[in-house]
Amino acid sequence: MQIYHLHHLVKNSDLNHHGTLFAGRTAEWFVEAGFIAAARLTNPENIVCLNVHGMKFTKPVRSGEILCLESRIVLAGSSSLIAHVQALCNEKVVLNGFITFIHVDKMGKPTPHNLNVEANTDEERSMQDTARHLRK
């Protein structure tokens, strides 16, 4: 499973009223990171976001810090792709979750993407198992 990296400098305009990274801005970056992983496997014009399965913060992020979002596709259905995204700040995980994307045709109808994703490590197998449960 290929991991893709997206970096963002957290600026004052990205903060909430508590002076920490605003969840809405983070959600935008979170979906963007997952989309990049999906777009590396198929035509980006055929990808739409279906569901954000969670975006859980484990610690606050402040202005001036650099957020690194790591994304990878962990499971492929016939037309779906599930991405795992985690964000790191100062080499510590500060956020993680999953996103389901659907591969669609020009009319917006789900269409097969003919992709297969293999888990090669225990960590990848664990992510894949979690992603399978999200589909239920």
136 pLDDT higher than 90: no
Residue type, 88: L
Position 51 confidence tier, pLDDT thresholds 50, 70, 90: very high
Let me know: does 124 contact 112? Beta carbons within 8 Å: no
Helical residues (DSSP H) of 40-120, grouped into ranges: none
Q: What is the number of domains present in the chain? A: 1
Q: What tokens were used for 108? A: 């917006």
CATH code of the domain in which 25 resides? 3.10.129.10
User: With the C-alpha atoms ordered 42, 47, 53, 54, is the resulting torsion angle positive or negative?
Assistant: positive
Q: How would residue 4 be classed by pLDDT, with cut points 50, 70 and 90? A: very high
Residue 56 domain boundaries: 4-134
* Alpha-carbon torsion, ordered 24, 29, 35, 37, to 10 deg: -140
Direct distance between the N- and C-terminal alpha carbons of the chain, in angstroms, rounded to an integer: 23
Nearest residue to 88 (alpha-carbon basis) of 123, 61, 53, 122: 61
pLDDT score, position 135 = 79
The pLDDT score that the predictor gives to residue 54 is 86
